[in-house]
Amino acid sequence: MSISSIFQMIFETLSMTIISLGLAYLFGMPIGLILNITSKKGLKPCKSINFILSSIVNVLRSVPCLIIVVLLMPVVRAVFGTGTGKWYTIIIPLFVASLGFVARIVEQSLAEVDKGKIEAVRSLGANNMQIVMKVLIPEARSSLISGVAVTFVSILGYTSFAYNIAAGGLISGIWHYYAKNTGNYLTSISFWILIIIVVILVQLVQEVGLYISKKLDKRRI
């Protein structure tokens, strides 16, 4: 296994993970926000909207990633012209698989905000939009950053399903190497190098997320 192929797998893994993460938060953040606002103790309770969105999120979270990959194959083909063989063909399934997860993380992060601060701002005449922009999101940003790190690691794990559609990536590379060298893969340096790189990526993201989260956590003051 050449150094160039290892760097190629790192590029594929980071690309599919970061793009999927960005899309998941682009759509999941508003969904989580609406779930929080329309909850029983939210700024504007609405049982019907909360029930519909919550049901959709629960369904997304309950469907295994591999099934999502299979179900979305026609969509992937329509968008990219092919359903296999390219790293970007796994992006849409990864995005959909992590969307419900992100929505719940955002909802729970916002629910942790001190209700006293919300009531204090409301008593000063702030409307719901001002409360969201000036209290809810700023006060929850530490928890939200931690959620981003957790989601990154989860999506990184989901990239293992890229192996099923030959989409590449580090974890897919590990599976591919195992399949080709079943008898002696544990004694291969290349095999362990790939595993070490994955572990380093996970630890790096977790540590950076934890560091930023602590820096932003005003509740610790």
The answer, yes or no, to whether residue 35 has pLDDT greater than 90, is yes
Residue 23: CATH number of its domain: 1.10.3720.10
Count of residues making up the chain: 221
**Domain total of the chain:** 1
Closest CA to 147 of 106, 98, 208, 114: 106
| Contact between residue 61 and residue 101 where contact means Cβ atoms under 8 Å apart | yes
Are 24 and 154 spatial neighbours (Cβ–Cβ below 8 Å)?
A: no
pLDDT digits (tens, 9 = 90+) for 43-85: 899 999 999 999 999 999 999 988 998 999 999 999 988 878 8
Name the percent of the chain in helix, strand, coil, to the closest 5: 85, 0, 15
- Percent of the residues in the chain that have a pLDDT greater than 90, as a whole number: 41
State how far the Cα of 93 lies from the Cα of 84, in Å rounded to an integer. Answer: 12
Give yes or no for residue 24 having a pLDDT over 80. yes
* pLDDT of 11 strictly over 70: yes
Residue position matching structure tokens 């719901």: 128
User: What is the per-residue pLDDT for 221?
Assistant: 46
Task: Give the domain range for residue 97.
Answer: 3-220
Averaged over 30-43, what is the pLDDT?
93
